[in-house]
Chains A and B, each alone.
Chain A
Amino acid sequence: MYVAVKGGEAAIANAHRLLADRRRGDRDVPALTLEQITGQLALAVDRVMAEGSLYDPDLAAMAVRQSRGDMIEAIFLLRAYRTTLARFGNSRPIDTAKMRIERRVSATYKDIPGGQLLGPTFDYTHRLIDPAMAGDEPVDEPLRRAREDERRAPRVTDILNDEGLIERDVLSDEEPGDLTRDPTAFPADRDVRLQALARGDEGFLLSLGYSTQRGYGRTHPFVGEIRIGLVDVEIDVPELGFAVSLGQVRVTECQMVSQFTGGGEEGAKFTRGYGLVFGQSERKAMAMSLVDRALRADEFDEQRLAPAQDEEFVLAHCDNVQATGFVEHLKLPHYVDFQAELDLLRTLNTAKAKNDEMREAAE
């Protein structure tokens, strides 16, 4: 017998009303504005854009506000919105060599051409909570220093390439796979893997990257370069017959230089892992580059033994919207499923009791 259960409607409506109240909080305290969220919680907004896989700071800020700061909920909201948008086309690949740099560091070359530019970093802070954060004390304007010239900051991998010591990028204009349009098949190509990692959960990728450093798929990495800044987004407009710039987006790029391979005809070379993420998102870009490198095991004849090297494991579990959907669905009513299991259990135990009785009687 199947009994349809109704009666949740009023409770749901009231719960959502209560949620709206709790989200707003004390009415005597001014509500958060989007400008406050995009301006003062900028890295939260960046994370929501990266994992929500849609670059739109205002929408991401709305999602953060609507989700009461629950990041995965906010990411979910942005993903859901994304699905409502018609796709007008594909951008030309962004050129990170032409980035307007806001931060750029290399752990491999002290005197890297273009220099080490720290930018707005948490590095070298003492990680002590600043009592000033409890109030609204005036903040100094940043210092400025004139640039002598338009100093070029070549990507570190291009510098190493002059010596032929690092694997080269193979420029092509092959049409990349798109996991939002086609189901992912394994083995997946590196373009699809990078797309999955770029929208993957920061915590999951961080832990996987960490695991490679601790010996689960050892890659012995160096940060060749991290750069954060603004890049132009260009798209070909058929009506015009040429490409135009739509504006700029902020991205973080990490070039991880990893253990060398080869020794054959071409000589030994460093290998590479690559990370590219929306917004200022250094930890995520680094984690992504570690996992990208680990997933290239087959290319370098490395044994695939660790989780970070298992592309099916990584790609199938790095998406936090999928993960939260499946984990969180467990709390929704499973009354009928559970009733069926209960019945089965009772039947088993009744059968056992009967068996035991018969055995006792026989003895």
Chain B
Amino acid sequence: MTAETANARRKRALDAMASMPANMLSDLYKENTAGAPGAIAVRGPEIGAIMLRGRIGGGGAPFNLGEASVTRATVRLDSGELGHSIVLGRDADKARMIAHLDALRQLPDWIGRVEKAIVEPALEHARAEAKLQAEETEATRVDFFTMVRGED
């Protein structure tokens, strides 16, 4: 795997886990990480904020829209792998679990398991949620029709 694809896979995993509801992540984490190499905290988990930006007109220069609370964490496995996470909200456990899973993903013995047991369900959950929301919205689509009045 090239570094680029490795980074892309890592991003895919981090993105998916960040969007997962905390209780779902917590359940899957507990089920799947028993016996996993432990991690020590390097930084955090710590709660802070990021400035969320938009673009003027939607596609112009950036402007500061307002802040959002976030939590970030960095952990290290005994074998040295560093795991990082940053997620919206103030959930220290969620940030710590994701950082741990990000570190575990770097171990050849664990990457498959993290992908299969956590990342795939997270993606599936996100897809299902997006589908439900899209279909509910779709039901409110206006189907215009034209009344023909008079002759020709």
A residues contacting B by CB (< 8 A) are 49-50, 53-56, 58-59, 82, 85-94, 96-97, 100-103, 110-111, 115-119, 142-147, 155, 157-158, 169-180, 190-192, 194-195, 198-199, 230, 232-233, 235, 237, 239-249, 251, 253, 255, 272, 274, 276, 278
B88 and A93: CB pair below 8 A?
no
Q: Provide the residues of chain B in CB contact with A175, threshold 8 Å.
A: 62
Question: What separation, in Å, do the CA atoms of A240 and B101 have in the docked complex?
Answer: 15
Partner of B49, one of A85, A102, A192: A85
Leading 9 A-B pairs by shortest Cβ distance: A169-B59, A247-B88, A55-B68, A191-B63, A169-B60, A85-B49, A144-B135, A245-B15, A143-B139
Q: Provide the residues of chain A in CB contact with B68, threshold 8 Å.
A: 54-56, 91, 233, 246, 249
Q: Provide the residues of chain B in CB contact with A90, threshold 8 Å.
A: 50-51, 53, 64
Partner of A56, one of B69, B134, B140, B144: B69
Q: Provide the residues of chain A in CB contact with B90, threshold 8 Å.
A: 56, 58-59
In the complex with contacts A111-B144, A178-B51, A144-B136 CB distance below 8 A: yes
Closest beta carbon of chain B to A242's beta carbon, Å: 5
**B121 proximal to A (CB < 8 A):** no
Q: Provide the residues of chain B in CB contact with A241, threshold 8 Å.
A: 7
Closest beta carbon of chain B to A160's beta carbon, Å: 12
Q: Provide the residues of chain A in CB contact with B50, threshold 8 Å.
A: 87-91, 233, 235, 246
Partner of B89, one of A56, A88, A146, A232: A56
Chain B contacts with A in 69-124, Cβ cutoff 8 A:
69-70, 72, 74, 82, 84, 86-90
Partner of A85, one of B15, B69, B88, B134: B69
A118 and B72: CB pair below 8 A?
no
Residue among A58, A86, A239 facing the most chain B CB atoms (10 A cut-off): A239
B142 and A100: CB pair below 8 A?
no
In the complex with contacts A82-B49, A239-B82, A249-B68, A96-B54 CB distance below 8 A: yes
A85 and B138: CB pair below 8 A?
no
Closest beta carbon of chain A to B145's beta carbon, Å: 11
B55 and A93: CB pair below 8 A?
yes
B52 and A94: CB pair below 8 A?
yes
A171 and B53: CB pair below 8 A?
no
Closest beta carbon of chain B to A298's beta carbon, Å: 16
Question: What separation, in Å, do the CA atoms of A117 and B134 have in the docked complex?
Answer: 10
Q: Provide the residues of chain B in CB contact with A102, threshold 8 Å.
A: 133, 137
Partner of B66, one of A54, A93, A244, A248: A54
Select from chain A the residue with minimum beta-carbon distance to B135. Answer: A144
Q: Provide the residues of chain A in CB contact with B147, threshold 8 Å.
A: none
Partner of A53, one of B66, B136, B138: B66
Closest beta carbon of chain B to A140's beta carbon, Å: 12
B137 and A244: CB pair below 8 A?
no
Closest beta carbon of chain A to B74's beta carbon, Å: 7
Question: What separation, in Å, do the CA atoms of A249 and B132 have in the docked complex?
Answer: 17
A88 and B11: CB pair below 8 A?
no
Partner of B86, one of A116, A119, A244, A248: A244
A247 and B18: CB pair below 8 A?
yes
Question: What separation, in Å, do the CA atoms of A142 and B64 have in the docked complex?
Answer: 35
Question: What separation, in Å, do the CA atoms of A177 and B88 have in the docked complex?
Answer: 23
Question: What separation, in Å, do the CA atoms of A101 and B137 have in the docked complex?
Answer: 8
Partner of B62, one of A56, A93, A142: A93
Closest beta carbon of chain B to A184's beta carbon, Å: 12
Q: 14 interchain pairs (CB within 8 A)?
A: A50-B66, A59-B90, A85-B49, A90-B50, A94-B54, A94-B65, A100-B130, A118-B142, A144-B136, A169-B58, A176-B61, A178-B64, A233-B52, A251-B65
B88 and A195: CB pair below 8 A?
no
Q: Provide the residues of chain B in CB contact with A178, threshold 8 Å.
A: 51, 64
B58 and A87: CB pair below 8 A?
no
Closest beta carbon of chain A to B113's beta carbon, Å: 21
Closest beta carbon of chain A to B61's beta carbon, Å: 4
Question: What separation, in Å, do the CA atoms of A237 and B139 have in the docked complex?
Answer: 39
B137 and A119: CB pair below 8 A?
yes
Closest beta carbon of chain A to B13's beta carbon, Å: 10
Closest beta carbon of chain B to A125's beta carbon, Å: 13
**B1 proximal to A (CB < 8 A):** no
Select from chain B the residue with minimum beta-carbon distance to A240. Answer: B84
**B32 proximal to A (CB < 8 A):** no
B66 and A199: CB pair below 8 A?
yes
